[in-house]
């Protein structure tokens, strides 16, 4: 069954004390100079905020901030670009100036227990977004702000897990591979595909008027039974040979959101989602690649065609978008940016970000695995987030934000599955 859609804004916490921000520098001297960011890093310079909450009966939180701070200084020796500062290169691209200035670190104390954070799918971003917060119950929360241009979800998780391993004084399972020149553009650039992910689509449906309404943020839990129903619904089309959970769920939320936003039948709508390019490059990217190894792929369809036809219509478009991602496609995307400096357009677009395969729940700084972990906020109104849910990680939480009236229509379509 689907759980009730939840309002994702956590309760405002009683934070009794916030310390002064300090800079944590690498524990040893590190390389200085400029550090290249690849063309795959350039398009997603958005702030991603995540939270990890820890509590164990055996260990209080007295030393938590010092343990994390000391470990951060040590792990920044390996991940030294994170201690630098973003700047713009003479070529007009983002680049890291490896100054060694350090990462911002803040400690706070909350005058409440950790259970008072509120909805576990969306803690309060203002009070938890950027610091280590200690709670009266002995638990603590680590809030992280990281720029997506530094790494994708896999790279970010490898960094956080390395930080945890450093705190526990054990060797890094996956040391970072820092060389991003392996994803440099070709000379001369070769654009071999249309790259419709960059296309600007006219909003002939005037969906912008809906966004004058108050925004509502909700999460909907799709448990294994509901996910199987979606896949069965897609497979009602005899021309569809197979269907994965991701394909069925992506097609459904694309279709449901398009209908909820009242798009006209001839309105083009675009779906964007990231595909992990690490194993698809030739040769594959090295283990521990420190950077964005994801590539945005796309599908475009008239809204009427998507809404009025079977779910399998959207599923086939998703499958074609996945199949499109090859070494040639990804190299072409890198070269496309080199030539055009274009960024993917989000007009009349849904961008699905899949975090359901990321190991948020395995991070351990010495207090065991987190009792709660995940994102703090959605970066854009066009973004929908997929998160694994439940002890066995077999359910998927769908997080999204839409105008109130559109959200009601979206929920109705879930109830009709």
Catalytic residue of the set 65, 124, 148, 152 = 148
- Looking only at the bridges linking them, the beta strands covering 15-18 and 107-110 are antiparallel
The 3-state DSSP class for residue 386 equals: strand
Contact 194, 342 (CB under 8 A): no
What phi and psi values does residue 35 have, to the nearest 5 degrees? -120, 120
148 is catalytic: yes
142 to 51, 75, 163: CA distances (angstroms): 6, 16, 12
Q: Which long-range contacts (CB under 8 A, 24 or more apart) does 194-199 make?
A: 195/332, 195/333, 195/336, 196/270, 196/298, 196/300, 197/270, 197/272, 197/296, 197/297, 197/298, 197/333, 197/344, 198/336, 198/340, 198/342, 198/343, 198/344, 198/345, 199/270, 199/300, 199/345
CA pair distance 200, 353, nearest whole angstrom:
20
H/E element, 4? none
Catalytic residue of the set 97, 223, 237, 364 = 364
209 is catalytic: no
Q: What is the set of active-site residues?
A: 148, 364
């Amino acid at each position: 069954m689907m759980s009730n859609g939840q309002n994702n804004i956590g309760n405002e916490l009683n934070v009794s004390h916030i310390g002064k921000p300090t800079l944590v520098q690498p524990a040893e001297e590190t390389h200085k100079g400029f550090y290249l960011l690849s063309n795959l890093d350039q398009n997603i310079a958005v702030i991603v905020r995540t939270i990890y909450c820890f509590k164990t009966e055996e260990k209080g939180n007295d030393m938590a901030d010092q343990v994390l701070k000391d470990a951060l200084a040590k792990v920044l020796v390996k991940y030294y670009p994170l201690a630098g500062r973003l700047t713009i290169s003479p070529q007009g691209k983002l680049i890291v100036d490896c100054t060694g200035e350090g990462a911002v670190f803040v400690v706070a104390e909350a005058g409440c227990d950790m259970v008072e954070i509120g909805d576990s799918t969306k803690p309060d971003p203002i009070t938890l977004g950027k610091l280590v917060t200690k709670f009266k119950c002995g638990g603590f929360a680590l809030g992280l702000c990281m720029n997506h241009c530094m790494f994708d979800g896999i790279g970010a998780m490898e960094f956080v897990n390395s930080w945890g391993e450093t705190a526990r004084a054990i060797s890094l399972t996956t040391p970072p591979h820092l060389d991003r020149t392996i994803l440099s553009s070709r000379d001369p650039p070769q654009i071999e595909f249309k790259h419709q992910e960059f296309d600007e689509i006219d909003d002939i449906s005037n969906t912008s008027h809906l966004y004058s309404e108050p925004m509502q943020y909700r999460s909907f839990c799709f448990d294994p039974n509901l996910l199987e129903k979606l896949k069965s619904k897609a497979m009602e089309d005899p021309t569809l040979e197979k269907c994965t959970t991701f394909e069925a769920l992506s097609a459904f939320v694309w279709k449901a959101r398009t209908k909820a936003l009242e798009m006209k039948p001839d309105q083009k709508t675009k779906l964007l989602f990231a595909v992990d390019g690490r194993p698809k490059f030739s040769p594959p990217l090295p283990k521990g690649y420190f950077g964005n190894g994801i590539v945005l792929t796309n599908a475009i369809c008239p809204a009427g065609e998507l809404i009025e036809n079977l779910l399998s219509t959207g599923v086939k478009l998703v499958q074609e978008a996945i199949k499109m991602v090859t070494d040639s496609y990804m190299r072409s995307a890198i070269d496309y940016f080199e030539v055009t400096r274009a960024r993917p357009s989000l007009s009349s677009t849904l961008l699905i970000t899949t975090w359901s395969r990321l190991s948020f729940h395995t991070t351990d700084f010495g207090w065991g695995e987190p009792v709660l972990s995940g994102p703090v906020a959605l970066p854009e109104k066009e973004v929908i987030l997929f998160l694994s849910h439940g002890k066995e990680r077999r359910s998927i939480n769908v997080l999204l934000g839409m105008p109130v009236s559109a959200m009601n229509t979206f929920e109705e379509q879930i109830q009709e599955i």
